[in-house]
Amino acid sequence: MKVGIIGTGYVDSTVAFALMLQGIASELILIDKNANKAEGETLDLIHSMSFVHPATDL
C-alpha cells in the first residue's frame, strides 16, 4: 500500500516513522511546502531503515 503524508511536522513525521516501523506501507511519500524539510525527513527515515529492516520504499 502506498501512503502519502502531506506535511512533515512533528506529528506527520512520527506517523511516517510508525508506518515504516510497522511495515504497513510499502511506499511512503512525504510532501511539504518546504521541500528541504520533506527531503530531510525522508533522509532521516532512510537512515533509520537499516536498523528496523522494513519493506518500505521512500
% of the chain with per-residue pLDDT over 70: 90
Q: How far apart are CA 51 and CA 53, in angstroms?
A: 6
Residue numbers of the domain that contains 42:
2-52
39 located within any domain:
yes
Residue 58's pLDDT band, with cuts at 50, 70 and 90, is low
pLDDT confidence of residue 5: 96
pLDDT (tens digit, 9 = 90+) per residue, 47-56? 888 887 655 5
Show Cβ contacts of residue 47 under 8 Å, excluding neighbours closer than 6 positions: none
Q: How many domains does the chain have?
A: 1
Reported pTM: 0.81
